[in-house]
Amino acid sequence: MQLNMCLKIKIVFFISLIFSLNNYAQVSVTGILLEKGTRKPLSEVNIFLLPAKLKATTDSEGKFVFPIVKNDKFQIIVNNTGYFKFQKTFSRTSQPLKLYIEKEYYDVFETVVTGTGIKKDITKKTLSQKDFLKAPGAQEDPVKAVQNLPGVANQSFSSKIVVQGSAPDDTRYTLGGHEIPLVFHLGGLTSVVSPTAIDSVEFLSAGYGPEYGRALGGIINLNTRTPKVDRWHGEAFLDITKTGILAEGPINERSSLLISGRISYFGTILKKIAETKDEFSVTSAPEFKDLYLKYNYKISKSEDFSLDGILSEDTLAFIVKESVDPNFEGNITNNTNFFRIIPSYSKIINDKNNYKLSLGYGDDKIKFNIGDRYFDLDTTTLSQRFLWENKKSKKLTQYYGIDSLYRKYRTQIRLPNVNTQGGIRTAGGEETIADIKGSYWESAIFFRNIYKYSDKWTFSPNARVEYFSSVKTFYLMPRLSVTYSLNNSTDLNFAFGQYYQAPQNGEGTEEFGNPDLLSERSDHYYLSIIKDFRGGASNGAQLDLGVFYKNLDNLIIQTTEKRSDGTPIRNTNNGTGKVLGAQLQTSYKKGAYTFLASYTYLNSTRRDNSSIQYPSQFDQTHNLNLIGVLEKSRWSYSTRLRFVSGAPYTPVIGSIYSSDRDIYLPTRGEFYSKRFENFIQLDFRIDRKFVYRSWLLSVYLDIQNITNNKNGQGISYNFDYSKSEASAGIPIFPTIGLRGEF
Amino acid sequence: MKLCVIPIILIIFLACGDNFDKKSKLAGLRILAISANTPEINSAGTVLLTPLISYVNGASANLNYTWEACPDPGIDFGANVSCDNSSAALKLSGAGTFSIATLAATHNTGNATTLSVAVPAAAFTYLATLNSKTKFNGLDYMVILKYIDQASGVNSTAIKMIKLSTKTSAQLNTNPTTGNIQFKGADLTSYPSSEGDMSVSNLSSSENYDLDTDIGIQTKSENMFVSWYSSTGKFLFNRSKFGEKNTFTPDGNTGVFVIIYRDSRGGVTSNLTSF
């Protein structure tokens, strides 16, 4: 036994020696293949080793192994579609290799023409992050990029989106389906969530489904991104008005977090402007800050929990030493802030049933002071959404949902009464001094069916029933959409919907408005044809052509009528309106070139007290956007040409001097009987991406109104309205931005 | 080019048209103020209204004037400035002529013929039918006054509110008082030869008054302000608050200076200096 054991040891030693010598001559080469800049592991990629002519394929983590490599020096080649060819010589090493291959295009501008096939809302347009980050003239802003879509009016200075000739307050803004009070900071400067935290922006213009309500016009919904889970990522950006950071990554195997924050320095620019004016001085620069947070937790394979949190604040303070109206002189301060916390839970019960429940809670505060006058609004909002999807059969899918909102408010006000009929503001007169507390709730149940009757026909009869406590009324709102597929690439669509919107902004209160008001109503009709000419290829054309009609009833209008005791009625439901239009969106892509055109024809009219019909303030007859994009390696060039018919305005035909107030009162002419000049703007944008091994740097130059067109979309009058001139719009306005990400 | 790239909240308050003449510059036919001997009354009676007009460019012009009066139709709420829809019992009217030549010594600027407005008892009867807030705070009895140049047709219209209320006589509003226009701290005795601060001496202070509001009776303070006018030269501001100075830049060596002092609730007084 002793000898045998000794022999065994010798044999093992000998074999080990042979193998170790062999290993010295032939080593295994291991490594990982990553995308340059993003460090994303690339799986299923073939890697070649020369001259041995060996091939390895990366696994799901991007790792590869060449088990036996005999050569002292060897060459590795990676030739993967969509990436630049990688070719490099290495000396033999036992250390794992880290290979970075560079993508040909990191962000490709994508067109947004609605595709064919079954979809819930046929008018829904979705802008992905790639679309809005590179949209010319939008300064990387997701909501501004919506203006490139058909049906959206041109608004030079506005914090609201005007949809198909409806009033700005008829558009509802939501974050993950929950209402938020505003989408823009500082009257339209930028949206309230960091653009790169947003996954997509949904825009619904007409005939949308029963999940949506409380808006006569359109819906803008921001969908935020799920945090990345592969590793921690960071991002910092900077442009001439603001800066911010974003970080995201996994907390543990089940949960991940995204957090972003921005702060502006726009006020410094405004202060410089203010220094040139005697009439006002800026005491606290207009600034904003926002914070966004998203937490994701994977409870189980079929259950997910997420939490969205948003905090936004805008501040502004200045002194108006002199204004046309003495009521609006003095120290003016404004602070607008809000927050929302939106937890949501989703569960897949089985392959036929799933549901999602989400809540929204938050406060909105507006504090506005002019001298010793004030407007303080404090609201607390609780909202809830529930959606159950039930796939009854291959042909029928049903959705059931609840959409509720409760709001408690307190308004403290001491401001002069102001009337703005015809868009012309009267001088501030007697003050309203009030302290109003109250609450209201709006709750809806909705029901959607998607019934695929045949390969050709899909029907979606839907309904929403909603109760508005402010007007103490139930409303049944039928919705319908029908799709007829002519072939694989062509769909004909029809949608109808009825919408109600309760009085808002105090219109229904005794102090500011009329407690007898009813909800406003709108009926939408939409007919469209969608054609995809690409035949499955990435190059080619797409077309979306639609006509729409909206009938508006019970519109709330201002009135000069009084009750018998002399109290003003202020508002009535005597307004009606009609909106008729057509919209076209088409795109064409060929290689590195992309062209996009959107055009809207609009005829939007209003009628007050059944008197003469006049154009709506937002009736922009023609609205054309032409976009061209060229992408070449790390460079991207894009341009946008906008042509928009001048919006109507009411001329001032004279004035009467108010001796007591030292102000001229304008005499209104025929409502909206004149139009501003047509709006023509050419924007240009260059993007350059620098790709480093472990991070990316993007630089862009965005020049708005490169031809410096005056684009006057307003009128300035002298003190007694006897002289006027067009106000200048945004002049040539270059923006430079930097974004670094790892 | 004017840079108007500013948020909407600023746009509300800023006029981007700097190419216009300032309001303080006197040239054409203007009604600068209408003062009432009693800006607020609690019973029917005659109120004397004195228009302060200016027509620097209208030497020797003859003006026709008309006036009518009625309860405020609701101008703050968008109603047109008109007595057309008022009942006849509540309406008054009158007419006359005025020669600008009578104001030649003061650059065609000064007080025009005083109007006698006999506020009818029916107006107080009407007041009694209104809500308690209006009864206490007052009903505006509106006087619309219009001047027309007989030769050129140039015209100017202004309104003056006489407050009708149920307050006691001691609570009724009265006109503020003013002293002299001053330049660099001394009374203005000659046309300024250089840029300097202008002010007004002996301005009466603001008074407190009660206002019936949606949150009950509130004691408020009058918001006093001075409006500045000149036929030549330029004021930095058209208006200044109580105690604030204004800056004047002269142009030439003659002209008329006018200040009007208001209490923000109908009380008006004025001062005029001419060189």
Domains of chain A: residue spans and CATH: 2-101 (2.60.40.10), 125-222 (2.170.130.10), 223-741 (2.40.170.20)
In angstroms, the CA A250 to CA A511 distance is 52
For B107-146, the pLDDT digits (tens) are 999 999 999 999 999 999 999 999 999 999 999 999 999 9
The token pair that represents A742 in the structure block:
């790892």
Cβ of residue B128 closer than 8 Å to a chain A Cβ? no
A335 pLDDT higher than 60:
yes
Structural domain boundaries, residue B253: 175-275
**A224 Cβ partners below 8 Å, 6+ apart?**
A175, A176, A193, A197, A198, A199, A258, A292, A294, A308
First to last CA, chain A: 64
For A610-634, the pLDDT digits (tens) are 678 999 999 999 999 999 999 888 8
Q: A95: pLDDT confidence band, cut at 50, 70 and 90?
A: confident
Residue A147: its pLDDT value, please? 83
Residue A114: its pLDDT value, please? 52
Residue A20: its pLDDT value, please? 41
Binding-face residues of A in 499-528 toward B, CB within 8 A: 511
Q: Which of B105, B136, B166 is the last residue of a domain?
A: B166
Binding-face residues of B in 90-119 toward A, CB within 8 A: none
How many domains is chain B partitioned into structurally?
A: 2
Q: B8: pLDDT confidence band, cut at 50, 70 and 90?
A: very low
Which is more confident, A446 or B3? A446
CATH of the domain at B221: 2.60.40
Residue A517: its pLDDT value, please? 95
Residue B13 lies in a domain: no
For B155-168, the pLDDT digits (tens) are 999 999 999 999 99
* Average pLDDT value for chain B: 91
Q: Are B210 and B242 found together in one domain?
A: yes
Distances A537 to A128, A541, A544, A590 between C-alpha atoms, Å: 20, 10, 18, 10
Q: State the DSSP code for A646.
A: P
CATH of the domain at B141: 2.60.40.10
Q: Are B180 and B261 found together in one domain?
A: yes
Cβ of residue A332 closer than 8 Å to a chain B Cβ? yes
> Residues A250-279: what's their mean pLDDT?
81
A712 pLDDT higher than 90:
no
B4 pLDDT higher than 90:
no
For B208-233, the pLDDT digits (tens) are 999 998 888 989 899 899 999 999 99
* Other Cβ atoms within 10 Å of A205 Cβ, number: 28
Q: Are B140 and B242 found together in one domain?
A: no
Select from A159, A273, A565 the Cβ nearest to the Cβ of B8: A159
A5 pLDDT higher than 70:
no
CB contact under 8 A, B77 and A558: yes
Q: Are B29 and B127 found together in one domain?
A: yes
Q: Are B69 and B196 found together in one domain?
A: no
Residue B78: its pLDDT value, please? 84
Q: Are B30 and B99 found together in one domain?
A: yes
Residue B254 lies in a domain: yes
Residue A158: its pLDDT value, please? 65
Which is more confident, B173 or A426? B173
Chain A residues whose CB is inside 8 A of the B173 CB are: none
Residue B77: its pLDDT value, please? 84
Residue A512: its pLDDT value, please? 80
Residue of B nearest to A184 (CA): B7
Q: Are B153 and B232 found together in one domain?
A: no
Residue B21: its pLDDT value, please? 86
Residue B1: its pLDDT value, please? 29
Amino acid occupying residue A256 = S
Q: Are B48 and B140 found together in one domain?
A: yes
A-B Cβ pairs (cutoff 8 Å, strict): 185
Residue B1 lies in a domain: no
A531 pLDDT higher than 90:
yes
Q: B14: pLDDT confidence band, cut at 50, 70 and 90?
A: very low
Cβ of residue B137 closer than 8 Å to a chain A Cβ? yes
Binding-face residues of A in 112-171 toward B, CB within 8 A: 157-159
B46 pLDDT higher than 60:
yes
Chain B residues whose CB is inside 8 A of the A558 CB are: 77-78
Residue B202 lies in a domain: yes
Select from A568, A724, A727 the Cβ nearest to the Cβ of B74: A568
Residue of A nearest to B34 (CA): A659
Cβ of residue A653 closer than 8 Å to a chain B Cβ? no
> Residues B10-35: what's their mean pLDDT?
76
Residue B5 lies in a domain: no
CB contact under 8 A, A662 and B260: yes
Q: B193: pLDDT confidence band, cut at 50, 70 and 90?
A: very high
Cβ of residue A184 closer than 8 Å to a chain B Cβ? no
The token pair that represents B69 in the structure block:
């009066």
A703 pLDDT higher than 60:
yes
Residue B8 lies in a domain: no
CB contact under 8 A, B15 and A324: yes
Helix (H) or strand (E) holding A22: helix A2-25
Tokens 């009694």, residue? B128
Residue B16 lies in a domain: no
Q: Which of B129, B144, B166 is the last residue of a domain?
A: B166
Nearest Cα of chain A lies from the Cα of B35 at a distance, in angstroms, of 8
Chain A residues whose CB is inside 8 A of the B4 CB are: 727-730
The token pair that represents B55 in the structure block:
């027509």
A96 pLDDT higher than 50:
yes
Residue A275: its pLDDT value, please? 65
A267 pLDDT higher than 80:
no
CB contact under 8 A, A724 and B17: yes
Q: Which of A7-11, A165-169, A285-289, A479-483 has the highest mean pLDDT?
A: A479-483
Distances B129 to A239, A341, A559, A566, B125 between C-alpha atoms, Å: 62, 52, 21, 8, 7
Which is more confident, A667 or A156? A667
Tokens 């597929």, residue? A485
Residue B259: its pLDDT value, please? 96
Chain A residues whose CB is inside 8 A of the B9 CB are: 187, 286, 316, 334
Coil/strand/helix, residue A656:
strand
For A718-738, the pLDDT digits (tens) are 999 999 888 877 788 888 999
The CA-CA-CA angle for residues A566, A568, A570, to 5°, reads: 165
For A143-171, the pLDDT digits (tens) are 888 888 898 887 666 667 889 888 888 99
For A166-195, the pLDDT digits (tens) are 888 899 999 999 999 988 887 777 889 998
Read out DSSP for A156-190? Answer: SS-SS--BTT--GGG-EEEETTEE-S-SEETTTTE
Which is more confident, A23 or A296? A296
Q: Are B140 and B179 found together in one domain?
A: no
Greatest distance between any 2 Cα atoms in chain A = 127
CB contact under 8 A, A560 and B78: yes
Q: Are B115 and B181 found together in one domain?
A: no
Residue B10 lies in a domain: no
- Assess contact for A384 and A404: CB atoms under 8 A: yes
**B26 Cβ partners below 8 Å, 6+ apart?**
B54, B56, B107, B109, B229, B230, B231, B256, B258
ipTM for the complex?
0.94
Q: A326: pLDDT confidence band, cut at 50, 70 and 90?
A: confident
Q: Are B149 and B179 found together in one domain?
A: no
Residue A13 burial by Cβ neighbours in a 10 Å radius (0-12, 13-18, 19+): exposed
The token pair that represents A103 in the structure block:
């993508």
**What are residue B68's phi and psi, to 5 degrees?**
-140, 155
The edge-to-edge listing of strands for the beta sheet with B246-249 is B186-187, B181-183, B196-200, B246-249, B234-235
* Average pLDDT value for chain A: 87
Tokens 């609004």, residue? A377
B201 pLDDT higher than 90:
yes
Select from B6, B14, B134 the Cβ nearest to the Cβ of A279: B14
Q: Over the range A623-646, which residues count as b (16 or more CB within 10 Å of their CB) and which as e? A: bbbbbbbebeebebbbbbbbbbbb
Q: A515: pLDDT confidence band, cut at 50, 70 and 90?
A: very high
- Assess contact for A410 and A436: CB atoms under 8 A: yes
Residue A713: its pLDDT value, please? 78
Residue of A nearest to B132 (CA): A565
Q: A654: pLDDT confidence band, cut at 50, 70 and 90?
A: very high
Q: Are B201 and B152 found together in one domain?
A: no
Select from B9, B239, B262 the Cβ nearest to the Cβ of A187: B9
Binding-face residues of B in 29-58 toward A, CB within 8 A: 30-31, 33-35
Residue A490: its pLDDT value, please? 94
CB contact under 8 A, B76 and A658: no
Q: What does pTM read for this prediction?
A: 0.86
Q: Which of B143, B166, B189 is the last residue of a domain?
A: B166
Percent of chain B with pLDDT over 90: 82
Alpha helices by DSSP H, listed for B57-181, are 121-128, 132-137
Residue A379: its pLDDT value, please? 96
A99 pLDDT higher than 60:
yes
Residue B16: its pLDDT value, please? 43
Q: A21: pLDDT confidence band, cut at 50, 70 and 90?
A: very low
**A637 Cβ partners below 8 Å, 6+ apart?**
A629, A630, A631, A684, A685, A686, A687
